[in-house]
Amino acid sequence: MRIGIACPYSWAVPGGVQQHIRDLAETLIGLGHEVSVITPADDDQPLPDYVVPAGRAVPVPYNGSVARLAFGPLSVGRVRRWLKEGDFDVLHVHEPTVPSLPLLACWVAAGPIVATVHTAMRRSRVLLATQPVMRSALEKIDGRIAVSEAARTTLVEHLGGDAVLIPNGVATKRYRHAVPLDGWPGPGGAIGFLGRMEEPRKGLAVLLKAFEILAAERPGLRLLVAGPGDAAAQLHKLPEPLRERAFFLGEVDEEEKVRVLHSVDVFCSPNTGGESFGIVTAEAMAAGVPVVASDIEAFRQVLRNGRAGELFANGDPADLARAAGRLLDDPAQRADLAVAALAAVAEYDWDVVAREVLSVYETVVLGRATVGVAQ
């Protein structure tokens, strides 16, 4: 099958949607399919062979974050050319309501289209107001996928209709084994975090407050943080005596990310909202690391309502400290949660998820022509 995938966000910036698309594309290629991904990216940016750049991305505030999108005459032209040259059997667009390449591709394309919705958000006045403008593009979508119940709810509230529920995939084998960073986790214990430091909804501020509480009772406990952002600014949010026990690595590549997960005793997902699935949480589970996560819908789903990880009251540093402290003090409980997490995350393995996505492709392709450019 010839498959075209449209990515809304810059390939150069780490994010769950970009990673989902990358892993899906590589899994489908491994299964023998021809896959091409178009994404916001500069022409001189190093990209995998299957990725086509569609021009420079522009930062735009979106869903409590800053999304880097591509939308304009240059992008339209490149999408048209990509569709024409690709002659795809099916077009797969991700986040089609975002003003970027997937929406452009829906407007331009003719043929079978599948859309995946990743975002979970409250009713958006912007999306509701722009719905009439988008309708001509979105009505062309033949099959809809939501990565979680939260994402499905967002889709229903803003677009109507329904979607097949297919979760995010996790390359579980990639996370299973790694050598910890030198000197980690250490005899005093370590708690970890991965995410964009300065994005409030990622919850690092909640974790820093919890670390203050935990560190007062555990003199050897350390904090390991990885992700883009101003590390110095985050470090100075801690009392000076604790700064030498908090380590900020900045943005890390995929290999180092796996090592970070294997370098801590407890992984924390303190996100305060806006998550539809929790891919980093699932990756920690695949690494066999016990997880403490905020009690939001996305994490309850992935952690099986607390059976595969500890949940704490959203936004409450004291409750996070209590939950993490219990695990730090109980190696047997950590081991039990790690086993439960590995079992729970197995159903998100890409070998399983990609075949479910292929079933949607096959359904929409039946009786339809290949994807071309609308006249």
Cα distances (angstroms) measured from residue 188 to each of 89, 125, 223: 55, 48, 11
Q: pLDDT by residue for the chain (375 residues), tens digit each?
A: 999 999 999 998 888 899 999 999 999 999 999 999 999 998 888 999 999 999 888 888 765 667 788 888 889 999 999 999 999 999 999 999 888 999 999 999 999 999 999 987 655 554 444 555 567 777 899 999 999 888 888 777 766 778 999 999 999 999 999 999 999 999 999 999 999 999 999 999 999 999 999 999 999 999 999 999 999 999 999 999 999 999 999 999 999 999 999 999 999 999 998 787 888 999 999 999 999 999 998 899 999 999 999 999 999 999 999 999 999 999 999 999 999 999 999 999 999 999 999 999 999 998 676 777 776
Q: Decide the pairing of beta strands 143-146 and 372-373.
A: unpaired
* Number of domains composing the chain: 2
Same domain, 196 and 309: yes
- Give me the domain span that covers residue 309: 172-347
Same domain, 311 and 364: no
Same domain, 143 and 204: no
Same domain, 357 and 284: no
Q: Tell me, yes or no, if the pTM score tops 0.75.
A: yes
Same domain, 127 and 182: no
Same domain, 188 and 163: no
pLDDT of 44: 86
pLDDT of 126: 47
Q: What is the CATH number of the domain that holds 87?
A: 3.40.50.2000
Same domain, 28 and 159: yes
pLDDT of 250: 93
Same domain, 123 and 232: no
pLDDT of 14: 81
Same domain, 264 and 147: no
Same domain, 208 and 158: no
pLDDT of 129: 46
Task: Assess contact for 258 and 171: CB atoms under 8 A.
Answer: no
| Edge-to-edge strands, sheet with 291-294 | 246-248, 222-226, 190-194, 266-269, 291-294, 310-312
Phi, psi of 151 (to 5 degrees): -70, -40
Separation CA 123–CA 233 (nearest Å): 33
Chain-centre distance for alpha carbon 321: 25
Task: Assess contact for 309 and 290: CB atoms under 8 A.
Answer: yes
Same domain, 71 and 138: yes
Same domain, 123 and 180: no
CA pseudo-torsion sign 346, 350, 351, 352? positive
pLDDT of 278: 85
